[in-house]
Amino acid sequence: MPIEPTEDCVKQWLSSSIHTVFQGQPKLWNWNLGEPARVAEIFFDLRCKVPPPWNVDLEWNREGQLGATKKLPNVESKTYGTPDLIIHRRGDYGRENNLLVVEFKNKYSAEAEKKDKAKVLDWMDRYGYQFGAVVSLRRARSGSLDPQSLWANWETGKPAAVAWHP
């Protein structure tokens, strides 16, 4: 039976992949490319770090053995779509099989962070992800990577987010 990854381990995988892509592919930032280009490269790097039986997927919108479409909320006009990146065990339900859900943004704004935090906390609650992250892939004026980020985990029986610097 494989050892389940700790919260620190999952944070390290994500943080390491973000920094590896930033340092190894500066044109993704220098050319001001869109979020999907950056997220795809983070995905490719992260796939190499995450061991089986975990799967890393982009914009996954299926659940369960038969791959049924995830039901999205339509309460108060909140339709959250699909997460940018997840780590899970494909085809299995429950918190023990849903490890991480991530929303990325190219630029930081308090309004976007608030909306993305709501999305991530909803996905954690609805689908049982153990951890969640909201990550802005912004670059500081100095040229270094300066992500404004939130990390979410389960506290007191519900998901809660705190500031995090990957």
In this structure, the dihedral spanned by the alpha carbons of residues 154, 155, 158 and 161, taken in order and rounded to 10 degrees, is: -70
User: Do the strands 131-136 and 149-155 form a parallel or antiparallel pair, or are they unpaired?
Assistant: antiparallel
Based on the structure, what is the number of domains in the chain? 1
Domain assignment present for residue 90? The answer is: yes
Please list the ranges in the chain whose pLDDT falls under 70: 1-2, 60-80, 156
What is the structure's pLDDT at 64? 57
**Total residue count of the chain as it appears in this document:** 166
What is the structure's pLDDT at 136? 93
Q: What is the pLDDT of residues 80-109, one digit of tens each?
A: 678 899 999 988 888 999 999 999 999 888
Residue 150 main-chain phi, psi, to 5 deg: -125, 145
Domain assignment present for residue 40? The answer is: yes
What is the structure's pLDDT at 75? 47
Domain assignment present for residue 1? The answer is: no
pTM: 0.87
For 82-148, strand residue ranges (E) read 85-88, 98-105, 131-136
Helix (H) or strand (E) holding 58: strand 55-58
Cis peptide before 53 (omega within 30 of 0): yes
What is the structure's pLDDT at 155? 76
Q: Which domain holds residue 66?
A: 7-164
Cβ-contact 113, 134 below 8 angstroms: yes
What is the structure's pLDDT at 93? 81
Domain assignment present for residue 2? The answer is: no
